[in-house]
Structure 1
């Protein structure tokens, strides 16, 4: 049995030292990061995505298995390589995506997810589906994403979308924006960055975004993260903010995915009554913020992910006592 399905890309982030040109590769891709993140927190999760029939694909399978992610939804895209993303960092640890490897490749395995081959028993088991939006840039994977959303909603489950805007994935950035916004309307929960909120919406206030996408839909939530600035949110008519944890980041790759994993952990633990409680909402998103902050302390998105006990200790170290009332 699994509680969470995470659908989309899995790849390698290749962190390049711009001084020495040395490259270190870390397994990543937001949906894979989230799947591993929730499993590390003790929540069963399955990853749905496609890898290449190559050494990188085999290594990804081994790594996901080692974490304990359910791989019934993992597909192999024949003749398409597993994607590598070249990443540069600035002095603060923030990253910039600069290209794909192999450079001469025009089609990567994550673009070939087959919706008709997604195991239907997974949707019967799960309560939450989490997806990004990068897959919308590839027709086959986009179709699979829409099929998965329909399947989880038909079962009565919920959809969380992490907008995760990466213009390098899109051939036409301008056309991408309305396509992505249309997809967001199918979500029940939305996580995005402040930069994404400013780009995609005329009013980047989380309550205004919620109203624009869903009107007065019950249980809907919008959370906007902003790096070292406070996280703001609107959830079932309540508005709030989470002050950031004071840490010195080494690598911010995967921090947003850690936040999503932490939020999902809270949702799985909570009840509909708690979801409407503003104090519980604050605690849930504080926990999520702690997971994201913890990940910045080490390089790599998955390699830096914490266990539940490590998050609790992080919260104690930072004097966030509110969590003790809920976890």
Structure 2
């Protein structure tokens, strides 16, 4: 395949249906893995999104938003199935449920990819609810395994949702063991390891692949980045927050962008890149990719502070 992408994000793209009160609802494009893909594309990485979406107006919106940021759509499949919807009844704290028992995302088929699609691939990101929905989950885990065997660097963000309350542990273990880069938040750990202290839960995740990178975010309290025996800590830069939707996904993109473009950076700088991207995403409403100029400014601010 000509001009094969360097980065791949494989998983779910969905539509959030958000309660505005008084029986008014608004739809917004989204999906954790798709958000990471869009952020990487905006930051200048040749990125493809791999997944399946519907052929209706919801699928049209996802396709158009993908094209708008320059995502490679050759691995984005459209099928005659209903859309995957996330019904957001409340935002703070979040309360939601998903509609999509036989939706388009579940019919994703990597066997239909064009020849040579992975020839230039160097990084691949997985996570979100796509890894908690069969048969899609098994398809994606198998894809991650194949890419790992081909020398592709694997990134994984479980991005905990209530679909993962039962039966998710084997997937967590396998994906964390495969992943060279793992991102988890404090909320993820509380959901994945209920009644377990955060420090203990984090060590359990890191134990799956002790030599890999592990980004642990704590919202406005900052984050830590581990790599083997190394550790870096930093506070998030202070910004005028519009909302925090998509900030975690942006931080993943910021870290992958830094690791790919600047492999020789110290660990602290890679952490600053992740925090800068996540904070830049908070300057805009919704799961909007961070703007490169804002990310760069926040990164330079953190580097100058030496935190």
Q: Scaled by the length of structure 1, what TM-score is found? A: 0.83
- 2:122 corresponds to which residue? 127
Q: Does 1:151 align with 2:143?
A: no
- 2:303 corresponds to which residue? 321
Alpha-carbon separation, structure 1, partners of 2:66 and 2:36: 11
- 2:104 corresponds to which residue? 109
Question: Which residue of 219, 228, 253 maps to 1:227?
Answer: 219
Alpha-carbon separation, structure 2, partners of 1:300 and 1:35: 15
Question: Does the C-alpha gap of structure 1 residues 154 and 315 become closer, same or farther in structure 2, counting only changes over 3 Å?
Answer: closer
Aligned structure 1 segments of 4 or more residues deviating by more than 6 angstroms: none
Alpha-carbon separation, structure 1, partners of 2:253 and 2:173: 22
Query: 1:244: Cα distance to partner?
Result: 1.6
Question: Which residue of 250, 254, 260 maps to 1:258?
Answer: 250
Query: 1:221: Cα distance to partner?
Result: 1.1
**Contact map agreement 1:50 1:112 (CA 8 A) in 2:** yes
**Contact map agreement 1:35 1:46 (CA 8 A) in 2:** yes
Query: 1:203: Cα distance to partner?
Result: 6.0
* CA shift digits 1:65-84 (9 cap, x unpaired): 12110011111232x21122
Question: Does the C-alpha gap of structure 1 residues 251 and 86 become closer, same or farther in structure 2, counting only changes over 3 Å?
Answer: farther
- 2:43 corresponds to which residue? 41
Question: Which residue of 9, 12, 15 maps to 1:12?
Answer: 15
Report the number of matched residues: 300
Alpha-carbon separation, structure 2, partners of 1:127 and 1:85: 31
RMSD in angstroms over aligned alpha carbons? 2.4
- 1:86 corresponds to which residue? 87
Q: Does 1:290 align with 2:276?
A: yes
- 1:96 corresponds to which residue? 94
* CA shift digits 1:234-279 (9 cap, x unpaired): 11320121212223433221110000110111011123xx2xx6xx
Q: Secondary structure at the match of 2:166?
A: helix
Query: 1:322: Cα distance to partner?
Result: 4.2
Question: Does the C-alpha gap of structure 1 residues 322 and 153 become closer, same or farther in structure 2, counting only changes over 3 Å?
Answer: farther
Q: Secondary structure at the match of 1:100?
A: strand
Q: Scaled by the length of structure 2, what TM-score is found? A: 0.88
Alpha-carbon separation, structure 1, partners of 2:203 and 2:132: 26
Gap regions ≥5 residues in structure 1: none
Question: Does the C-alpha gap of structure 1 residues 21 and 284 become closer, same or farther in structure 2, counting only changes over 3 Å?
Answer: farther
